[in-house]
Amino acid sequence: MPTGREIRLAARPNGMPRHGDFTLAEVDVPEPGPGEVLVRNLWMSVDPYMRPRMNDVPSYVPPYELGRVLDGPAVGAVVASRAEGLAPGDTVVHWQGWRDLALLGGHEARRVDTELAPAQAYIGVLGMSGLTAYVGLLDIAGLREGDVVFVSAAAGMVGSLAGQIARLRGHRTIGSAGTDAKVAHLRDDLGFDAAFNYRSGDVADLLREAAPDGIDVYFDNVGGDHLEAAIDVLREHGRVAMCGAISTYNSAGAALPTLRNQFKIVGKRLTLRGFIASDHMRRMREFREVAGPWLRDGRIVARETVFEGLEHAPDALIALLAGENVGKMLVRIA
Amino acid sequence: MPTGREIRLAARPNGMPRHGDFTLAEVDVPEPGPGEVLVRNLWMSVDPYMRPRMNDVPSYVPPYELGRVLDGPAVGAVVASRAEGLAPGDTVVHWQGWRDLALLGGHEARRVDTELAPAQAYIGVLGMSGLTAYVGLLDIAGLREGDVVFVSAAAGMVGSLAGQIARLRGHRTIGSAGTDAKVAHLRDDLGFDAAFNYRSGDVADLLREAAPDGIDVYFDNVGGDHLEAAIDVLREHGRVAMCGAISTYNSAGAALPTLRNQFKIVGKRLTLRGFIASDHMRRMREFREVAGPWLRDGRIVARETVFEGLEHAPDALIALLAGENVGKMLVRIA
């Protein structure tokens, strides 16, 4: 029986997670039974919503359990299969990240084509991250001609794709990020029309300066003062696609997010709509047909920040929550 | 030339308005010119959104101007007319409240039938208040079969109608109000299935107790901790019709409203949508066709709280903001 390694939740964090909140454990992994596959993970994804899953609060995905292995998107190579249609050597995406060996039901693994794009693209730009950006802009915010689009956490994977999709569709696009280097990346590499470092002043002032005539769509990855600022600057009938609220995930006590201007949601007839990309899987094929050629032709830039080794997955999550990534945050497992 | 009286904005309030923020002035009112009517106001409406209009902040209606007369819904009797289709003795609704004599363009005044309902109903239950409740529930919240509906400020005019419309359509309906007497009124007179006094504990706890299985629609007149509580208790794909945020209108400093649980908007895929009934005037005829018979047959209760005399209109607004009304807050001018 092969021995695998996995990352478990050792303690529920209070504020920013720390190394001691995770443990690395060895486990025996059984050979696949009928209908199962054994996968050696190559890459795993680290995503902001994993932070709220570390709390004992029910949400759209159940909280991580204390003492148990975490999970999340991963891509790997089939090493043994008793599942129809899957053979050793196949590359598959699935949901059992945070471990090096994954034993899966065949229906939990989906084969991907690594000739079209590298394996890790399927848990990033051509995976849920990309679908999130696409669905959030088109279906949730209902992007229409002439909309001015603002994206927060715009140097992250979802934000950078949302901004680039908006730009490719001809919209004036504004992004925020937390360092001057990221702001330069937004302007110079990703083609944002305007960008600002939200740490350099009051977010509403900075946004108003970047969008003096206002915005129509806000793609929100951040919440907190970004959301408040966007509500200030949105024009009438503006729309907010609420994708995440990373600024609030570690907050407690004095840092509790306000929404002082909530009456403006009424006065400007704004719509704020939360969404989860996994509700919209039916759009994945269309999204890949649209985004695949963009990626191949270099019209979309999809940067990666890579941590090496499963044992550094907790560091990758902590760095992500501290805003240290550019583009997709990945852990290379094998 | 007749002499009229009007209420002017003397100072912009900080927090709850005070008497000194208003002055009563006498003015000469010219005879109507071609196309104009002169109206003696009988009733005027006092509404929560008038408080934000006292601030120097642009919104969907312009702020009141310092030293100038306020405005708002009123109903009165034509005393002189040079406008086609309007004759002395006609009862008309219009937008020039906060004064006893109104000189209007004929197109600004709409004749109403006082045989069907008393004059003041047209600035209340059969006017914008009623339309607000109707459109908010049906169009903005997209009420559907089986929805559990929560209404805040449910003893006020808009809230009491929203709750009663939901009940008449077969929905389980929960209301909140700020006194035990109002709570009894919600249960005993208006037919709410459950009601609570939000001052008697934590709003989220009280709401959870009243709706142990959660709510699907929140008709928000209040904002602040009510909005936060509703987001806690809403089920997946729940909807908030944001009609007002009275709890935030006078807030400053330490009382700034938080929205600590904004990530739940994402996780539960909630939609929050602000609206203004005047965008939906095309629905007024349908609304009156539906609500008129309900009112006539006593299936809808439309209580009134009346202040006597134009000079007491500021008191009426202050009392409204303090939650002292049951049903429609009105000032009887003549």
* A72 and A185 both lie in a single domain: no
What pLDDT is recorded for position B254? Answer: 54
Say which of B245, B258, B265 has its CB closest to residue A258: B258
* B272 and B138 both lie in a single domain: yes
For an interface test with B, give the residue of A243, A259, A273 to mutate (most B CBs within 10 A). A259
pLDDT in tens, chain B (334 residues): 799 999 999 999 999 999 999 999 999 999 999 999 999 999 999 999 999 999 988 777 789 999 999 999 999 999 999 999 999 999 999 999 999 999 999 999 999 999 889 999 999 999 999 999 999 999 999 999 999 999 999 999 999 999 999 999 999 999 999 999 999 999 999 999 999 999 999 999 999 999 999 999 999 999 999 999 999 999 999 999 999 998 888 776 556 788 989 999 999 999 999 999 999 999 999 999 999 999 989 999 999 999 999 999 999 999 999 999 999 999 999 8
Cβ atoms within 10 Å of A85's Cβ, excluding its own: 11
Return averaged pLDDT per consecutive 10 residues of chain A, 334 residues in all.
95 94 97 97 96 86 93 97 97 97 97 93 95 98 98 97 97 97 97 98 98 98 96 98 90 74 94 96 94 92 97 97 95 95
Contact across the interface for A60 and B269, Cβ inside 8 Å? yes
What pLDDT is recorded for position B40? Answer: 98
**Shortest Cα–Cα distance, A125 to chain B (Å):** 21
**Residue A94, strand partner residues:** A74
Cβ atoms within 10 Å of A225's Cβ, excluding its own: 17
What's the pTM?
Answer: 0.93
Any chain B CB within 8 A of the CB of A233? no
Does A12 fall in a domain? yes
**Cα separation, B238 vs A256, whole angstroms:** 24
Any chain B CB within 8 A of the CB of A227? yes
* B167 and B249 both lie in a single domain: yes
**Residue A242, strand partner residues:** A220, A274
What pLDDT is recorded for position B334? Answer: 86
What pLDDT is recorded for position B116? Answer: 86
Any chain B CB within 8 A of the CB of A264? yes
Q: Which residue in chain B has the smallest CA separation from A241? A: B266
Contact across the interface for A276 and B256, Cβ inside 8 Å? no
Contact B280, B139 (CB under 8 A): yes
Does B94 fall in a domain? yes
Of A36, A112, A150, the residue nearest A292 (C-alpha): A112
Does B310 fall in a domain? yes
Which residue, chain included where needed, has tokens 């969907």? B60
DSSP state of A287: H
* B177 and B261 both lie in a single domain: yes
Which two three-digit tokens encode residue B243?
């009609």
Cβ atoms within 10 Å of B296's Cβ, excluding its own: 11
Which two three-digit tokens encode residue B198?
């939000």
Residues B102-115: tens digit of each pLDDT = 999 999 999 999 98
Render the burial of B125-147: b for 16+ CB within 10 Å, e for the rest.
bbbbbbbbbbbbbbebbebeeeb
Contact across the interface for B269 and A274, Cβ inside 8 Å? yes
**Shortest Cα–Cα distance, A234 to chain B (Å):** 12
Contact across the interface for A271 and B272, Cβ inside 8 Å? yes
Any chain B CB within 8 A of the CB of A258? yes
Set of chain B residues whose Cβ sits within 8 Å of the Cβ of A142: none
**Cα separation, B204 vs B270, whole angstroms:** 17
What is the value of ipTM here, to two decimals? Answer: 0.92
Q: What does B29-75 look like in DSSP terms, one character per residue? A: -PPP-TTEEEEEEEEEE--TTHHHHTSS---SSPPPPBTSB--B-EE
Does B291 fall in a domain? no
* A35 and A149 both lie in a single domain: no
Of B3, B31, B24, the residue nearest B98 (C-alpha): B24
Any chain A CB within 8 A of the CB of B274? yes
* A82 and A198 both lie in a single domain: no
* A132 and A250 both lie in a single domain: yes
Average pLDDT score over chain A: 95
Say which of A257, A263, A269 has its CB closest to residue B262: A257
Phi, psi for residue A187 in degrees, rounded to 5 = -75, -45
* A243 and A148 both lie in a single domain: yes
Contact across the interface for B269 and A267, Cβ inside 8 Å? no
Maximum Cα interatomic distance, chain B, rounded to a whole number of Å: 64
Strand segments (E) across A192-310? 194-197, 215-220, 234-242, 271-274, 304-308
Contact across the interface for B60 and A267, Cβ inside 8 Å? yes
Torsion of CA A174, A180, A186, A187, to 10 degrees: 80
For B39, the 3-state DSSP assignment is: strand
Contact across the interface for B262 and A248, Cβ inside 8 Å? yes
Set of chain B residues whose Cβ sits within 8 Å of the Cβ of A275: 266, 269
* A120 and A141 both lie in a single domain: no
Contact across the interface for B269 and A270, Cβ inside 8 Å? no
Contact A17, A9 (CB under 8 A): no
* B69 and B165 both lie in a single domain: no
**Shortest Cα–Cα distance, A308 to chain B (Å):** 30
Any chain B CB within 8 A of the CB of A244? yes
CATH code assigned at B311:
3.90.180.10
**Cα separation, A101 vs A108, whole angstroms:** 14
Contact across the interface for B244 and A260, Cβ inside 8 Å? no
* B20 and B101 both lie in a single domain: yes
B-facing residues of A in 162-201 (CB < 8 A) are: none
* B274 and B149 both lie in a single domain: yes
Set of chain B residues whose Cβ sits within 8 Å of the Cβ of A273: 269-272
Q: At what angle do helices B157-168 and B128-135 cross, to 10 degrees?
A: 50
Does A296 fall in a domain? no
Which two three-digit tokens encode residue B170?
């077969």
In which domain, by residue range, is A96 found?
3-124+303-332
Average pLDDT score over chain B: 95
Instruction: Count the domains in chain A.
Output: 2
Does B285 fall in a domain? no
What pLDDT is recorded for position A248? Answer: 86
**Shortest Cα–Cα distance, A229 to chain B (Å):** 14
**Cα separation, A160 vs A183, whole angstroms:** 11
Does B323 fall in a domain? yes
Of B262, B27, B67, the residue nearest A52 (C-alpha): B262
Does B293 fall in a domain? no
